[in-house]
Amino acid sequence: MAEEAVTAANSGWWWIPSRLPPWCPTSQIQLQTAEDMMLRCIKSSFSKRHVPISNGNLLWTLTFSNDRVKDKTPMVLLHGFGGGVGLWAQNLDALSQRRPVFAVDLLGFGQSSRPPFSMDPGAAEDQFVESIEQWRAEVGLESMILLGHNLGGFLAVSYSIKYPARVKHMVLVEPWGFPESPDPVEANRPIPVWIKALGAMFSPFNPLAGLRLVGPLGPSLVQTLRPDFKKKFSSMFADNTVAEYIYHLNVQTPSGETAFKNMSVNHGWAARPMLQRMDQLQHEIPINIIYGSRSSIDSNLGSTIKEMRPRCAVESITIRGAGHYVYADQPEDFNHRVLQACDGVV
């Protein structure tokens, strides 16, 4: 109990227990089962394992590779806040046809280890970045294409700044954390719905504390609040597979979730905006930025980065009919555009 109290105090959330409420209907086995259900429609052969990194931590990894593509530069998929490898279910078959693909649960999320994170935004970010580098070294990848959605896009750039020799290409999908938090005078500017949800709905708690606090009502709450996820995957599942997976992903120990909160200010804006650091990124790394035409995220980011980096290959791609979860809203178009963008990477 003493150790539990220290962990909670260090996280800055002493009023939320570090363990799950006893009425919260979840477990690691239930998360694993929910993920297996998400992946049951995948036709390609793949392996899955925990990759060891420092301090006894493990990163859950799906590996898609075969003799035909094994010598090509691999693509590494980094999910967004509250996500996991199972949400790439509509993309893994297509993307792995031309090169090896690795889908990773970020540290603190999914089936990866959920250690304490620093309360300092920079230190927490660095914990994520170092975990990716340690994972790369353990898996034995010389270089890679990084594709990141939301938080994963932010971390892809942060990693590429620190380890540029390891990155041949970046694909940023609706990336989080690039612009600065708007000034008070811009208060009338529309705030994306997902940012409002993260920053306001459960403040001052961790962003997803509500799911844990409602206990056995959690699975129904996910289905009620996010019926769109069932629609996004309707070509694969007619039941509540997706809602079950999202629920079990996000009611485990709030590790990466707490890190995200520590890295955020003012309704989910980044405490350390990435645009302020783009000048540190090597010009040789090409960047594709993918947006959904129905998303609330500012799609002018590509133009801004191109102006800041005129010598760098920067291309923005807008996918019609897609929202923030581009890869799930319009998977065929998304897969085609990603393969096309990375076709020149050997």
- Express as a percent the part of the chain with pLDDT over 70: 85
Average of per-residue pLDDT values in the chain: 87
Provide the pLDDT for residue 185: 46
**Of the candidates 279, 287, 281, which has an alpha carbon nearest to the alpha carbon of residue 162?**
281
Provide the pLDDT for residue 196: 54
> What mean pLDDT comes out for the span 274-279?
96
Q: Looking at the DSSP assignment, which residues form a beta bridge with residue 64?
A: 101
C-alpha–C-alpha distance, residues 91 and 185, integer Å: 41
Pairing between β-strand 144-149 and β-strand 75-78 as defined by DSSP bridges: parallel
- For the range 6-10, what are the long-range contacts, defined as Cβ-Cβ under 8 Å and sequence gap of 24 or more? 7/116, 10/116, 10/119
**Higher confidence at residue 208 or residue 110?**
110
Q: What is the pLDDT of residues 122-164, one digit of tens each?
A: 999 999 999 999 999 999 999 999 999 999 999 999 999 999 9
Provide the pLDDT for residue 184: 54
pLDDT tier at 103, thresholds 50, 70, 90: very high
Provide the pLDDT for residue 211: 77
Q: What is the pLDDT of residues 170-229, one digit of tens each?
A: 999 999 999 998 865 444 556 555 555 544 443 444 667 777 777 777 778 888 888 889
**Higher confidence at residue 87 or residue 202?**
87
**Higher confidence at residue 333 or residue 194?**
333
Provide the pLDDT for residue 2: 29
Rounded to an integer, what is the distance from CA 55 to the centroid of its chain?
A: 22
Provide the pLDDT for residue 22: 54
Reported as half-sphere exposure (CB side, CA atoms, 13 A), residue 150 has a value of 21
> What mean pLDDT comes out for the span 92-111?
98
Provide the pLDDT for residue 181: 86
Provide the pLDDT for residue 123: 98
Would the pLDDT of 332 be above 50? yes
Q: Looking at the DSSP assignment, which residues form a beta bridge with residue 147?
A: 77, 171
- Express as a percent the part of the chain with pLDDT over 90: 72
